[in-house]
Amino acid sequence: MKELWVEKYRPNTIDGYVFVDNAQREQVQQWIRDGSIPHLMLSGGAGTGKTTLAKMLINELGVDEYDVMYANGSKEARKVEWVDKLINFCQTMPFGAFKIVLIDEADYMNPNSVQPALRNLMEDYSQTVRFILTCNYPNKVIPPLHSRCQGFHITKNDHTEFTARAATVLVTEGVEFDLDVLDTYVKATYPDLRKCLNLLQPNSQTGRLLAPSSADKSARDWRLDCVDLFKHGRVREARALLCQSAGPDETEEIFRWMYDNLELFGKTVEQQDQAIVIIRDGIAKIPLVADQEINLSATLIELSQIS
């Protein structure tokens, strides 16, 4: 079976990693130079590189594989029984300078049992064990854990670097592509690089990146078609498609996506500022309207009237 690009191109050194900005890059470089990290809380949206950053750090710090414990907060580490295993791991001496406990999706750990149990462990073993927690929703992690970790929030990766990363993968795979076609994929998925690579791969099998409309239906995301329509000024059709494809509980996510892709609604800064205000008004109305489709539709009409 062919390897998934998301795994094949998960950078394990700092070079291939796309940072939000220079400040974050420098922070990570500093940890690598120091050869150590504080307890970390990596937060941010799906596919923005939290797990990748954690694994890259473990690799760059040269931590012995026996000194690393991986767990997932939505799986084994959800239940309190797992804590015994964790204590056992913390109690034994590390092979190298320190051990690392990487808990992915830590926001799913039980906030009444597992999360409070971590509190003491983080302090008792801080000399020899460092924790890296990743989460999509930092507000689901109890405050005592936040106060024991240094926060590292991945907002949105740089748009240009995001595009460059996707382009690098295509070039490395020997796939030919038009920049405009790639841009459509980027706009539909930004800032989720995982989703972007997962959409590019099946649409590149002929050795040429296919435009969304000629690609295999099953591998397609309606957002792609939507971006395509917007880009060609077919706003009415884009609106219809968006409203018909978005599930009722997806509304907030759609607004967020629109906010992440302001270029769709105007080229100038002023137009994009106007778009933000319209999107904000639309979000504010979500709890007030009975029919989310009407609200979304009305917001899109206002967005298309930006001049």
Residue 204 CB, shortest distance to ligand ADP, in Å, is 15
Q: CB under 5 to 8 A by kind: which of ligand ADP, Mg ion, none does 166 bind? A: none
| Residues 40-69: x where in contact with Mg ion by CB under 5 A, - otherwise, as a string | -----------x------------------
Residue 52 CB, shortest distance to Mg ion, in Å, is: 8
Minimum distance, C-beta of residue 196 to ligand ADP, in the bound complex (Å) = 8
Residue 243: CB minimum distance to ligand ADP, A: 28
Residue 9 near ligand ADP by CB under 6 A: yes
Q: Quick one: 91 or 172, whose CB is closer to ligand ADP?
A: 172
Give the shortest CB-82-to-Mg ion separation in angstroms: 18
Residue 3 partner contact from Mg ion, ligand ADP, none using kind-dependent CB cut-offs of 5 to 8 Å: none
- Residue 223 engages ligand ADP in binding (rule: CB under 6 A): no
Which of 50, 130, 187, 223: binder of ligand ADP (CB under 6 A)? Answer: 50
Is residue 197 a contact point for ligand ADP (CB under 6 A)?
yes
Query: Is there binding between residue 49 and ligand ADP (CB under 6 A)?
Result: yes
Spatial distance between the Cα atoms of 14 and 29, rounded to a whole number of angstroms? 8
> Smaller CB distance to ligand ADP: residue 42 or 241?
42
Calpha distance 105→46 (Å, rounded): 10
Annotate each residue in 148-167 with x if it binds ligand ADP (CB under 6 A) or - if it does not, as one string: ---------x-------x--
**Least Å from the CB of residue 106 to ligand ADP:** 11
Q: Is 99 in the site for ligand ADP (CB under 6 A)?
A: no
Three-state secondary structure readout of the chain: CCCCHHHHCCCCCHHHCCCCCHHHHHHHHHHHHHCCCCCEEEEECCCCCHHHHHHHHHHHCCCCHHHEEEEECCCHHHCCCHHHHHHHHHHCCCCCCCEEEEEECHHHCCCCCHHHHHHHHHHHCCCCEEEEEEECCHHHCCHHHHHHCEEEEECCCCHHHHHHHHHHHHHHCCCECCHHHHHHHHHHHCCCHHHHHHHHCHHHCCCECCCHHHCCHHHCCHHHHHHHHHHCCCHHHHHHHHHHHCCHHHHHHHHHHHHHCHHHCCCCHHHHHHHHHHHHHHHHHCCCCCCHHHHHHHHHHHHHCCC
- By CB under 5 A, name the binding residues for Mg ion: 51
- By CB under 6 A, name the binding residues for ligand ADP: 6-7, 9-11, 16-18, 46-52, 134, 157, 165, 193-194, 197
